[in-house]
Structure 1
Amino acid sequence: MTDIRAAIAGERTDLAGLLATLPADDWDRPTLCAGWRVREVVAHLTMPYRYSGAAVLRGVLRARGNFNRFADRAARKDAATLSAGDLVTSLRDNVNHPWKPPGSGPEAALSHDVVHGLDITVGLGLDRVVPLDRLRLVLDGTDRRSVKYFGVDLAGIQLRATDLDWTYGTGEPVTGRAQDLLLAVCGRTLPAGRLTGTEAARFTGGVGQRPGAP
């Protein structure tokens, strides 16, 4: 538990530092989350620190029980009303916040931070490398349920990391850095050249993940 909490704090600290250095124009550039700019993604990342449980429940009810619809509305509203500085401060002030997705453990909170951080950096073309120990904690939680949640077709494919001793599935190998394979598992569409293999085109060259997805 201590290692996971330290990894979460480290990831949030690193991401806050990176965001603080972004040129103003970058906050309005697209990310791997389709329809979300950098500011919407950061608003979504920091939503758990700014919304009470009751506020989330009310928002979900207004969205007719659809959490993703609520999350999209909240991200767009907050991105329009909070400055980049406000969002960075919210992230930096909450590096040790104990939030975790309902029904999940701290590993899911780390995954949320890592994946959305990559949505930003890959979308902007920044070659930020997530520390491998954090990626290991996230990737070790990959299972059929998580793959099914994101609607990813991994039939006949084995994902193989080139920088970490990690594989998932069986079949034709698709290889790449661990962080790029994580994005593929989470339904993101990567820039061309990030993955290799005869089936790599399944995961590259299109639009990103639907907005509001964890």
Structure 2
Amino acid sequence: MVDLTALLTDLAAESDQLDALVAPLPPEEWARPTPAAGWTIAHQIAHLAWTDHVAHLAATDADAFYTSVLAAPNPARLVDDGAESFLAPPDALLARWRAGRTALSAALAATPAGEKLPWYGTRMSPTSMATARLMETWAHGEDVAEALGVRRAPTDRLRHVAHLGFRTLGHGFAAHGRPAPTTPVRVELTAPASAGSEPASLAAGSEAGTAGDTWTFGPADAADRVTGPALDFCLLVTQRRHRDNLALVATGPVADEWLDVAQAFAGPPGAGRDAAGATS
């Protein structure tokens, strides 16, 4: 079982890292465009703040969450409209993001064991919700860092992102209108050189490792396999890089197709990036 308290500690650390990147920026830098088409740095932080807000609703008031879903004027623009609705001057936006993520962490910690929270097209346990929030915080942090020309050293918290990427294999196929495969896939990833022994909460179902060791998911005897750097796998499943720009190797037809449709986040298929790095 994943330790929710430790997982929330990792989520806070991931959020604090991004906070430290954007907090010193002068107001004009918040308007800098990011790799996501039409989104500035402010949009990236507003998106995280909005998603924390609706996740808090899901954890504390399911009826209010469902009301917000039904009230969306254009479901196809739900994410964009949500980010735009939370845009504000940098100081106010930062304060709202900080307060929202703190409130969400407290709400998830207080959720009774075994309870599933409503979400878009699914229901999630508090640990799954916290893992998803960490994944999004890291992924959008990558967008911000790229916009600023900053290279962030990968941490052992990527273990959570990689685990979620593996668990959502079937979702990636379904999101692209393809049947979920029944063939098992083995994932073997080289841990980042800067990673410690393991994150505060070890991802359930994976094997412990140290910096430069292998993080593994799936049955050891599976014929279909994905191997490569953990960072590259996380960039792929969050659709921050095209597979052609990553050092991932797929063995077997299911593994190969998966690298084309992998998607760790909920909702319809993402636009992804083309091989040149731009949003497609």
TM-score (norm 1): 0.71
Out of 32, 35, 38, the residue aligned to residue 32 of structure 1 is 35
Counterpart amino acid of residue 145 in structure 2: T
Out of 155, 178, 195, the residue aligned to residue 131 of structure 1 is 155
Q: Which residue in the other structure is 2:276 paired with?
A: 205
How far residue 160 of structure 1 moved from its aligned partner, in angstroms, is 4.1
How far residue 56 of structure 1 moved from its aligned partner, in angstroms, is 5.5
Q: Which residue in the other structure is 1:4 paired with?
A: 7
Structure 1 residues 117 and 172 mapped into 2: Cα distance closer, same or farther (>3 Å)? closer
- Asked whether 1:145 is paired with 2:170, we answer yes
Q: Which residue in the other structure is 2:77 paired with?
A: 69
Q: Which residue in the other structure is 2:231 paired with?
A: 179
- Asked whether 1:117 is paired with 2:153, we answer no
RCO higher in structure (CA 8 A, sep ≥6): 1
CA–CA distance in structure 1, aligned partners of residues 141 and 44 of structure 2: 8
Out of 194, 215, 218, the residue aligned to residue 166 of structure 1 is 215
CA–CA distance in structure 1, aligned partners of residues 174 and 18 of structure 2: 26
| Superposition RMSD in Å | 3.8
8 Å CA contact 1:139, 1:182 repeated in 2: yes
Structure 1 residues 189 and 137 mapped into 2: Cα distance closer, same or farther (>3 Å)? closer
Counterpart amino acid of residue 76 in structure 1: E
Structure 1 residues 74 and 167 mapped into 2: Cα distance closer, same or farther (>3 Å)? same
Q: Which residue in the other structure is 1:44 paired with?
A: 47
How far residue 76 of structure 1 moved from its aligned partner, in angstroms, is 2.1
Q: Which residue in the other structure is 2:207 paired with?
A: none
* Equivalent position SS for 1:93: helix
CA–CA distance in structure 2, aligned partners of residues 124 and 19 of structure 1: 10
8 Å CA contact 1:59, 1:70 repeated in 2: no
CA–CA distance in structure 2, aligned partners of residues 94 and 62 of structure 1: 21
8 Å CA contact 1:8, 1:95 repeated in 2: no
CA–CA distance in structure 2, aligned partners of residues 161 and 31 of structure 1: 28
CA–CA distance in structure 2, aligned partners of residues 185 and 159 of structure 1: 14
Contiguous gaps of at least 5 residues in structure 1: 210-214
Counterpart amino acid of residue 196 in structure 1: A
8 Å CA contact 2:232, 2:248 repeated in 1: no
How far residue 19 of structure 1 moved from its aligned partner, in angstroms, is 0.9
Contiguous gaps of at least 5 residues in structure 2: 58-62, 109-116, 179-184, 193-211, 219-223, 251-259, 261-272
8 Å CA contact 1:32, 1:123 repeated in 2: yes
Same amino acid, percent of matched pairs: 25
How far residue 93 of structure 1 moved from its aligned partner, in angstroms, is 3.0
* Equivalent position SS for 2:139: helix
8 Å CA contact 1:150, 1:186 repeated in 2: no
TM-score (norm 2): 0.56
Structure 1 residues 159 and 120 mapped into 2: Cα distance closer, same or farther (>3 Å)? farther
How far residue 83 of structure 1 moved from its aligned partner, in angstroms, is 0.7
Q: Which residue in the other structure is 1:212 paired with?
A: none
How far residue 149 of structure 1 moved from its aligned partner, in angstroms, is 6.2
Task: Note the alpha carbon deviations across 1:94-120, whole angstroms, 9 max, x for none.
Answer: 443236772222212221222222222
**Number of paired residues?**
199
How far residue 8 of structure 1 moved from its aligned partner, in angstroms, is 0.9
Q: Which residue in the other structure is 2:132 paired with?
A: 108
